Each structure stands twice: as structure tokens, then as C-alpha cells.
Amino acid sequence: MKNIKRTLFISLAMVFLISSFAFAGYSYKVNKDHLGGDVTPVEAFEMVKKNPKNTFLVDCRTRPEYQLVGHAKGAYNIPIQFFSTKVGKKGYADSKNPNFGKDLLSQFNPKTDTLIFFCRSGNRSCAACNEAVKAGFLEKKIFNMMGGFEGGKNKNKDSCFYGQRWSGGWRLEGLPWTYKMDKKLMYKADMK
């Protein structure tokens, strides 16, 4: 009986240990050097819940991405770049939003507001952090959300999901998101 209890205990401990690795979650990393801090999607969600009056999610993806792919509930869309009508190496080229800093200043208070930037996977949001600090926002109140809205690409070449976004990110973390377009959150320059 003693051996059965010991074997059962060891078996349960092994199952727990193995399952803890399987469900440990996605390991986030910073894609580019930038000013400001870094948070995971869950940390960003908690920051907004803790201080909703002065902490904001800023989706810096293009307007079509914001509308057609979906976006975090409550996220403001201020694109750091736009799609252009010019064709580049990978399809339609993009162009930088020359008013990005001004757009931020027209929407948020640089002295009191905390901004959490995100894009598709965490590259453009790093650039957005730099632009926000350049526009006058405090570096300690600017954050890049690692993993972005859609997360990283599957890198397993044997997977049928190879190259698709299946790792981490706001949506895959199961955080609240929507396709609903709220005029208060849409790109303000389009609302004039």
C-alpha cells in the first residue's frame, strides 16, 4: 500500500510538472529598441483596468487593419503609417504619418496620461513609443505592448500553420476585442 501511494504521488507530481510547462504561456520579447517600457497584453489590460481615466490603449496599425482584423476594446486608432496607392515589393507600400505626434497631443495629455501602444506584432508600436516621447510624452508613461494584437508567427516549418500568427498577442490571450467601430475611438483626423 505504501508503494502504491508513493507511485501515485510521483505520477501526479510528474503530470503536474509536465502540464505546467505545456501551459506556461507565450514568452514575449521586445522586437526593437525603443524609448519607454514594455508590457505583455495581460499587463496592458490590467493597467487600463486599474486606471481607466488616464491609461489608454493606442492601436497604431493602419485604419484597414483596425477595422478588418479587429481591435482591442476601447483602443484608440492613431496610425503611425498609412497604406498608399503605390505598389512596393510586398504589395501596397506604406507611408509614414507625418502628424503622428500632433495626433497624439490632440487626443491625450502628455503630463497625466499613460499610453500603451500596440500594432500587429510589436514592431510599429516600438516606433510609436519613440515618436510619443519626441512629441513630449513622459518616457515613464509610454509602453510598447509586446506581441501586439495578433502575436508572433508560427516558426515550425512542418506545421500547417507555418508563417501564420498563432503565438501570443492580445487576441490570442483571449482579451476583449471587437470589430465594432466607435467614432470616439476611430482615427480623429477622419472624423472632421
The tens-digit pLDDT sequence of the chain (192 residues) is: 666 666 555 554 454 444 433 334 568 989 899 999 999 999 999 999 999 999 999 999 999 999 999 999 999 999 999 988 888 888 888 899 999 999 999 999 999 999 999 999 888 999 999 999 999 999 999 999 999 999 887 778 888 878 877 778 999 999 999 999 999 999 999 887
Domains of the chain (ranges, CATH numbers): 26-185 (3.40.250.10)
Give the H/E segment covering residue 95: strand 91-96
Cα radius of gyration rounded to whole Å, the chain: 20
pTM: 0.83
Q: DSSP alpha helices (H): ranges in the chain?
A: 2-22, 41-50, 63-68, 100-107, 124-135
Cell numbers describing residue 12 = 501526479
